Amino acid sequence: MINTFATWIPVPEDVQRLIKQHSQTWEPAYMPWEEHLRGGLHAASHALINVLPLFARTSANDALTVCDYPAARRYRPRYILIGDRCKGGNGLSLQAYRVFRLLILAAIDLIEACACTSFRGCPSCVQMMSCAQFNIVLDKKAGLTILKGMLAPVSSGDVLPGREGAKELDVNAMVLRKQRTLY
């Protein structure tokens, strides 16, 4: 295990309900909504890390996230996390914390601008070459829905159900303990 730092944001219940509602019309049709959500969390995390170099002098490989894999049966909290990949931290998660809203906007732009049609995305949008799980559990549409849903109460007068009074993103910073096998 190593001690490092991370910034994370929980995915609100109302955004999870949006995934459940809309995923019935997404490809692949056989996939349960929970799998779309898992893939969306993973894809949104990758997209945020892919745009991080726009806001910090870094490579996307200097940051980490929780990468899901198909056989995972462990509990996975429903949050998006950007962590420092090195022991003791390298300051990226703090920089991400400071510009998290801008990261979300840039990640939305990145995904929307990509012309790929695969539900798993491509290296230009939601895939990462440093993904420890080989970009298997990804869902581009669900990732975009998650990012837009987390930003909606902040960027418009419309408030999602259950988010009355939500004015700021609930971004948190924490000390993270990760096993090396998650990289």
Closest by CA position to 171, among listed 151, 141, 145? 151
Rounded Cα distance between 155 and 81, Å, is 21
Write down the pLDDT at residue 172. 61
Per-residue pLDDT of the chain (183 residues; tens, 9 = 90+): 678 888 888 888 899 999 999 988 988 888 889 889 999 999 999 999 999 999 998 888 889 887 767 677 666 778 888 999 888 888 899 999 889 999 999 999 999 999 999 999 999 999 998 888 889 889 999 999 999 998 865 443 333 344 344 445 556 655 444 333 333
29-79 pLDDT tens trace: 888 898 899 999 999 999 999 999 999 988 888 898 877 676 776 667 788
Is the distance from CB of 151 to CB of 170 less than 8 angstroms?
A: no
- In 98-145, at which residue ranges do the beta strands (DSSP E only) sit? none
Read off the pTM.
0.82
How crowded is residue 170: how many other Cβ atoms within 10 Å of its Cβ?
11
Write down the pLDDT at residue 67. 73
**What's the domain range around 146?**
2-182
Give the pair of three-digit tokens for residue 165.
Answer: 């009074």
Write down the pLDDT at residue 169. 55
Rounded Cα distance between 159 and 130, Å, is 36
ω before 28 within 30° of 0 (cis)?
Answer: yes
Give the pair of three-digit tokens for residue 75.
Answer: 């509990």
Please provide the distance, in angstroms rounded to a whole number, between the alpha carbons at the two ends of the chain. Answer: 11
Write down the pLDDT at residue 16. 92
What total number of domains does the chain contain?
1
Helix (H) or strand (E) holding 80: strand 79-84
